Amino acid sequence: MKKKISTYLLPILLISWGVIFSIPFSAHAADVDPHGLQPAENMMFLPKLSGLRNKTYKNQYGKKKALSEAVVLRQSVIKKGQATVPQGGLFYISETSGDAQPFRRDPFLVLGEHAYLVDLSTKTHTIKDFKVKIGDRKPVADTGYRLWFDYATDHYEKPYGELALIAPSGGWPLEFPISTSFPGREEVRKLTTGEGYVGQLQKFYMDKEYHYGAMHFKASNIGFKSAEFEKFEFPAITHATFSMHRPIVMDVRQEDFRYYFNKRIYAFRRPDGLLVRVTDFSGEKTLGEKLVKPVTAQGYKTLMTEKDKYHLTLPELDMRIEVMVHPSFMKHSDFVPWSTSKSHGFQKGELNFVIYRGLIHVENNQPWPLDHRYNVLLEPSMLTGMLKRLVIENNAPFTLDNENTTHKGPVKWSDVWNRPAFSLTADTFDGKVVRNLYLRDYYFMRTENMVVWDQEGRENIDFFVGSSPVLEPILEDSFLTRLADSSFGTVVEKSHFSSYPKVISDASFYEPDHTAPFVPRLKGLKRKLVRNRKKERLVSSESVFIRGSYIDWRKNRVVIPPAGLCYSTRNARNMRTLAGEAFHLLGKKAYLTTFTSSTFVKRNFNVDFWKNQPMGDGNLMFWQDKLLGVRNKALRMTKKHYLDDRPVSELSLMKYSGNRWGAHFLMAQGLNPEDGDRYYIPEVFAEGSTWIIPEYTGSNFIKIKEFGTPSIEGITFTYKKPKKKNLGVGERVKLGPYTLVCTGMDQTAKTVSLELRDTKGKLAASKVLGPLNQEMIDLLPQHQTAARAMQFLHDTVLAELDIKNPFNKDKVQLYLFTQIQALKRDTPFEYDHRFMVRPDVCGHCYQLNEVLLDNPEPIILDNDHPVYEGPKRKDGTPLYRLVLDDFDGEMIHAWHVETDDAKKGVIKTENLAFRPRNNMDVLIGVTGTTEGFLRLSMLPRLGFMESWRVSAKEPAVKLSGSVNTGGSAHIRR
């Protein structure tokens, strides 16, 4: 999923469970097409039910596939004691990691049964002249998909948009950026920059076409309010075949036969394959024959023009026969209980018959063969066009009330007893609410009552039961609300103990532990709406996080390594000069004045693909990271794919904070649709002011010819609110310890001459602001040179031209700043030298994204020194304190964070080691950075919160009026 910086904000409340389930829900009408839409934001989420499996299997080539199932209900309405579910409102979903393809024996779950995908047929949807308004999720013809124009932001005040193609189930792989206002990605080949830290780029690079494997969008006009596309294409699956049994694998006897139950299977060698013949038991009657080529791991065999050459299918005999070149790593498949050594090619000359039976053939948007009340939807991976999700949904509306309380799910396949895979029960209706709602699986196990506050009831019956990854995009707008639920206190997941704890010398670019407690709100950390000169609403927020901490059990102490204790402040998007934008620094409102940025360019280097866990112990030690400047960013290769046997590398750009820049760096070579290739990944990556030109993309490393990305060296700011002043020629105004004098202006050239004089009238400095001509306007506000031309900075004061309305009759309009302070990267913080200043830059451009304060030296906590004070403000008071309450030398049993309040005294968090922990990692406050960390562990956290709710804490008690004010789950990274 792609997350970047937004120019707008959707304020939300961080709400307790009690308040969540009491909010009236404005439901959609029952006749609304629910495809691509989400369940209600207050839907119940239950991660587990016995009949919904969550398993990991291997295919015949040893590749792991994580499989999951869920049952979802969306867009329901309760009126007059009756719940109505629209067509497609109730659906079962089965999902695989990556995708499932023919000829690989890829496992799949089908209504609780372990199956294999053996065949599929594909086509391409082509949509022309399509327009969508911002915020809309517009249906794409009759495909069941929706195009979502999420938001539009700008560079040089020219728009680019973030959009997503949402599948009928509600899932989408990423948000993609696209623009018609800037040079395309191939233009970066013309750049002639130096190496190392160089100046800012003037141009901003972004394509009007977006390619993602099998998906292609071509825009005709991207604006702030709407997006128009000349055309776009995306894959579709029309037909799929599953085998509900493990295949029978037999050696091939060439020019001879093998018995298969009451049949014979012959194999006759031919120059271009094997003639496979199926006969009756006696061999006298031929039931079917075909020339079949042996199957190996090459992906091109799944091409629609190729795949029929590699199998013999006899539907009337319930048989599909493939001839497989036997891999030596068969022991890595899910056919055997062990998995040892390393895969190395194939055994020589050994061929196998692979015979699939128990075949179920399904067609997209057609009835499920075992139950015609339900339709099948086949959702492809947008990267490969192969099967990603199987959806089985109701094909007619249905209702539940006190007389008709149960609706049965689709009938599942079974060797013994075909029966409904689940049943839905809702009863005790009262007007607009229901008080009893549960799901029962085919084991006759049922969920708890999904109406948590049964006295109040719920105004819909929407829910999500299971742990399918499709939940992540479905909860895009509400996951922070759920994670920040405080009605049961702070949820503390147990950490993972090891004889060899993860010990790192520096936590730069690392993420906190994925089980770190999350405290959404702490007194003293601000989260407030601020407005800039355009009256745009922005959220300014602060957070604290600890990463890389560990227990040094040999010395009975807890260690927070350098860069492990971080204070962060940022806005909902980047912070811009010349806009009067404010942020909070150590709890106090500050105003950005100037910034100092550059571009870091690195050439001719390799990035290796190492496993994320090279030690095999679960520790994320990214040894292959390439640093891009001093504490700027790091480049990491995280995944690799193959598209028709062409290697595709996926890289992540890691910020110093450990937060990932949201853009997907997909790099491939040799894929070209003009040459007939079905996939396309552009060779060059360019998005904004970050670009990559590869020299070679391999299966386990990428050689990069040139890489460039923005860097920020420092900013200036003030805690004093700026004042607006109009000055005519010869007029003057007090500006801090100086007097500002307007000595001249040219309204035609749009220039202004200013002088600063000290208390004795002596000239201290002078400058001509402007010219505010079109050339400069086209570079504002992001380009540093153009921005500085509009500002007169001297000592601790600054005069800034109002770039929107520079003149009012015969006077110039200025904004005046005083008491300006500087924050320079890698220098001690002015009020507390224990912490260093680390400003972070926007990934697209050169604007300030975040200000970090972190520890340059390790922090040691033990029973003799259990308290550590956070960064101190000007008056010497710390923003917070870390307190170690109970530590036995090996496990932390209790610790907390506390702050001081003038009225309430000391305010403490709950025990952040409710379950004994081996680290002090924590996330406090809601910023785009902590949100990014939470996204990485969203599903486990939500699942654990549910078990915490029902078992770890006391029974639910309704909290009335307990609303925690927070911000949007839609903050961009």
Q: Per-residue pLDDT tens for 106-121?
A: 999 999 999 999 999 9
pLDDT(915) > 90: no
pLDDT bracket for residue 973 (50, 70, 90): very low
> Does residue 904 or residue 502 have the better pLDDT?
904
pLDDT bracket for residue 953 (50, 70, 90): low
The pairing of strands 463-466 and 44-46 is parallel
Q: What is the percentage of the chain residues whose pLDDT exceeds 90?
A: 80
Tokens matching residue 481: 């609300």
Mean pLDDT of 6-26: 35
Phi-psi region of 515 (alpha: psi -120 to 50; beta: other; left: phi over 0): alpha
pLDDT at 622: 61
β partners of residue 107? 116
Peptide bond before 315: cis, by omega within 30 degrees of 0? no
pLDDT at 296: 85
pLDDT(960) > 60: no
pLDDT at 3: 39
> Does residue 884 or residue 626 have the better pLDDT?
884
Mean pLDDT of 538-567: 96
pLDDT at 968: 34
pLDDT at 350: 81
pLDDT(963) > 60: no
Q: What is the percentage of the chain residues whose pLDDT exceeds 70?
A: 90
Mean pLDDT over the full length of the chain: 90
DSSP reduced 3-state for 862:
coil
Residue 96: closest CA among 366, 379, 476: 379
Mean pLDDT of 391-402: 97
Task: Note the pLDDT tens digit of each residue in 141-177.
Answer: 999 999 999 999 999 999 999 999 999 999 999 999 9
pLDDT at 550: 94
pLDDT(763) > 90: yes
pLDDT(835) > 70: yes
Euclidean distance between CA atoms 394 and 375, whole angstroms:
6
Mean pLDDT of 764-770: 97
| CA of residue 344 relative to chain centroid, distance | 34
Burial class (CB in 10 A: 0-12, 13-18, 19+), 287: middle
- Convert 576-636 into a string of H (helix), E (strand) and C (coil): CCCCCCEEEECCEEEEEEEEEEEEEEEEEEEEECCCCCCCCCCCCCCCCCEEECCCCEEEE
Neighbours of 628 (CB within 10 A): 21
**Residue 826 backbone dihedrals phi, psi, to 5 degrees:** 65, 30
Q: Which residue has the tokens 């404005």?
A: 26
β partners of residue 267? 254, 276
Q: Whole-model pTM? A: 0.92
pLDDT(556) > 90: yes
pLDDT(513) > 70: yes
Burial class (CB in 10 A: 0-12, 13-18, 19+), 384: buried
Under 8 Å between Cβ of 449 and 436: yes
pLDDT bracket for residue 961 (50, 70, 90): very low
Task: Note the pLDDT tens digit of each residue in 220-279.
Answer: 999 999 999 999 999 999 999 999 999 999 999 889 999 999 999 999 999 999 999 999
Euclidean distance between CA atoms 380 and 388, whole angstroms:
5
pLDDT(852) > 90: yes
pLDDT(500) > 70: no
pLDDT at 395: 96
Euclidean distance between CA atoms 392 and 364, whole angstroms:
10
Counted residue by residue, the chain has a size of 973
Mean pLDDT of 65-81: 97
pLDDT bracket for residue 498 (50, 70, 90): confident
Mean pLDDT of 376-380: 98
Residue 847: closest CA among 592, 627, 540: 592
Buried b (16+ CB within 10 A) or exposed e, 297-329: bebebbeeeebeebbbbbeeeebbbbbbebbeb
> Does residue 20 or residue 830 have the better pLDDT?
830
